[in-house]
Amino acid sequence: MIEYVAGKLTSKKPTLAVIDVNGLGYRLLIPTSTFESLPAVGENVRLVCHHHVREDAILLFGFAHEDERTTFELLLSVSGVGPKLALAALSALRPNEIRERIIAGDATMLTRIPGVGRKTAERLVVDLRDRFEKMDIGSERIPDRDDGSAERLDAIAALEVLGLSRVAADKSLRSVLRQHPEVTSAEDMIRLALRS
């Protein structure tokens, strides 16, 4: 099993990164939260990994922080949740936000993750609530406003309707919330994101 990959970042996209390790290029699938943590192309980077083997593919997933990988692996342990869905969850919500929603039994909020329906959201709550309660997820995160509120998710959805991709909407909102920590309403978040 590959624990981590460290080397020079040769290319990056919102869903993948390629890292050169002594002439061998590793292609890692990543969530948008990891993409935002990546340095510029050409600089050194270290990502913790999850090595996923299927009958038809061998995939390598990369994460900027251990809490992302832990959450990813816990999500995979739920019946019906594959790596694509687990990655979508981490692109929509931070690990501590996922943990809080599951512990609170907030299946409705979990259905806002692309690909998660009502049954899957309820299964996540039932299967992972006890496991998440025993864990401390989120201690390794980079400093950022911890706003997993319905308002933030509503703002992301509205920005998507207005034509932004989920990645662009999330990135814009993170920037707005860092610059304007006093903003709490979805309307203000949307207005400021559209101005930036």
CATH class of the 150-195 domain in this structure: mainly alpha
SS (H, E, C) 69-108: HHHHHHHHCCCCCCHHHHHHHHHHCCHHHHHHHHHCCCHH
Dist. CA 98–CA 23, nearest whole Å:
37
* Segment 18-69, tens digit of pLDDT: 999 999 999 999 998 899 889 999 999 999 999 998 888 889 999 999 999 9
Residue ranges, comma separated, of all CATH 1.10.8 domains in the chain are 150-195
Across residues 139-153, what is the average pLDDT? Answer: 53
| pLDDT over 80 (residue 150) | no
Residue ranges, comma separated, of all CATH 2.40.50.140 domains in the chain are 4-63
pLDDT of residue 136: 58
pLDDT of residue 146: 42
Phi/psi for 130 (5° steps) reads -65, -40
Give domain 4-63's CATH architecture: Beta Barrel (2.40)
Q: What is the CATH number of domain 66-133?
A: 1.10.150.20
Dist. CA 132–CA 130, nearest whole Å:
6
* pLDDT category of residue 180 using cuts at 50, 70 and 90: confident
pLDDT of residue 137: 52
Q: Is 91 left (phi over 0), alpha (psi -120 to 50) or beta?
A: alpha
| pLDDT over 80 (residue 165) | no
| pLDDT over 50 (residue 143) | no
* Segment 106-140, tens digit of pLDDT: 888 888 888 889 999 999 999 998 888 877 554 44
pLDDT of residue 126: 92
Please give the sequence-ordered ranges of beta strands (E in DSSP) within the chain, or none if there are none: 4-13, 16-21, 24-29, 44-53, 58-63
| pLDDT over 90 (residue 192) | no
pLDDT of residue 108: 87
Residue ranges, comma separated, of all CATH 1.10.150.20 domains in the chain are 66-133
pLDDT of residue 149: 66
pTM value is: 0.68
Average pLDDT over the chain reads: 85
Least confident range from 4-18, 39-53, 73-87, 143-157: namely: 143-157
